[in-house]
Amino acid sequence: MRSLFPVTDQTPAGGPEAASAPALTGVPDRAPAPTADRAPAPTADRAPAPTADRAPAPTADRAPAPADDREWSLDELADWYAYPETDRPVLRANMVSTLDGAAMHEGRSQPISCPADMRIFGTLRGLADAVVVGAETVRQEEYRPARARDAFAGRRAAAGQGPAPAIAVISASLDLDFSLPLFTEPLVPTLVLTGAAASAERREAAEKAGARVLIAGEGRGVEPGRVVAALAGQGLKRLLTEGGPTLLGQFVAADVLDELCLTVSPMLAAGDARRIAGGPRMTLPERFALASVLEEDGFLFTRYRRP
Ligand SMILES: NC(=O)c1ccc[n+]([C@@H]2O[C@H](COP(=O)([O-])OP(=O)(O)OC[C@H]3O[C@@H](n4cnc5c(N)ncnc54)[C@H](OP(=O)(O)O)[C@@H]3O)[C@@H](O)[C@H]2O)c1
């Protein structure tokens, strides 16, 4: 893995084009089948009026020094992806997309992911206070509790974080299996965010299972603009959303997304798979600023922020 942007001492002379050339050596004509599962590991563990404090300082100075293309340690990745030092909540999204915009293949993101993507996925989790996810992704990707990982333990303790991020599930129907480990066996209680008019019976079932229910809307559903404040009210300010597209689209439309960590997978999927963000379109497309690009094995790990 290496940084293509910002240009660092890791970026070979000749710029990004030269940098990517060696990585293509030996890569077959067709993308190899990915071997990692982007879904959480069984035991585990993406505007108008931008404001200056929403644009954290670049982290290029934290780039690992060696100029060779090698696997970055989790510690190096954690430095690279560190949340900005600010008191206000930050909502970051992590999504993967094929070259032609598919956010999934046959209903899952795993087929378009890769091992390096999974390392970054795990690192972003390792840095977060809470992982915010739509109920459909929980159901389809069979979410389990986030796990505590040694690689991030010291960093989390120093930042005053619990051993693992809380999973915060967004649901209106509360049609979730509350007997699953996600609700019964997490290291830190799983949160369920729903609306005030959601089923009282289902809310009770969630609480009985050990989940904490937060109300963030007046109807059955959650008002996306209230999610960040509801979680910040629980002391959870370093927020990571893992989608899916329905939820991410609402965060974009509500103008609450600060950062998008987008993995560009070197694959073409065609078909009718959805994009990383759905829902009603913005009146005007909103522009984000490129903050960094890592590359490994033809995959691009981009990060964009509010300007
Ligand atoms: N490419 C990637 O990086 C990536 C990332 C994540 C997921 N995915 C893929 O995306 C697919 C799932 O995404 P999706 O868009 O269908 O679903 P999703 O966004 O994960 O979840 C949608 C569900 O979340 C709940 N929800 C959303 N907005 C809500 C609101 N305002 N208030 C209350 N509840 C709300 C509803 O749950 P209830 O029905 O319970 O009310 C809704 O059905 C899967 O195939 C998954 O593999 C891809």
DSSP string, 192-205: EEE-TTS-HHHHHH
Structure tokens of 227? 């999610």
Total number of domains constituting the chain? 1
Residue 33 forms part of a structural domain = no
User: pLDDT tens digit string along 80-96?
Assistant: 999 999 999 999 999 99
Residue 221 belongs to domain spanning: 84-305
As beta bridge partners, residue 265 has 98
Q: Are 96 and 273 in contact (CB under 8 A)?
A: no
Residue 70 lies in a domain: no
How many whole angstroms separate alpha carbon 62 and alpha carbon 83?
Answer: 13
The answer as to whether 26 is a domain residue is no
Ligand 1 midpoint to CA 139 (Å): 9
Q: What pLDDT digit, counting tens, does each position of 187-231 carry?
A: 999 999 999 999 999 999 999 999 999 999 999 999 999 999 999
> pLDDT tens digits, residue range 141-156?
999 999 999 999 999 9
User: Domain for residue 105, yes or no?
Assistant: yes
Instruction: Look at residue 19 and tell me if it is in a domain.
Output: no
pLDDT, the chain, mean: 86
Q: What is the pTM of this model?
A: 0.86
Q: Which residues line ligand 1 (CB under 6 A)?
A: 95-96, 103-104, 107-109, 134-137, 140-141, 170-173, 175, 221-222, 224, 242-247, 250, 276
53 lies in a domain?
no
Q: What is the CATH number of the domain that holds 301?
A: 3.40.430.10
| 57 in a structural domain | no
31 or 166, which is more confident?
166
pLDDT attached to residue 64: 52
Look at residue 9 and tell me if it is in a domain: no
CA of 168 relative to ligand 1 center, distance in Å: 12
Q: Which atom of ligand 1 is nearest to the CA of 46?
A: 3
Which residue lies with its CA nearest to atom 28 of ligand 1?
A: 247
d(CA 298, CA 21): 9
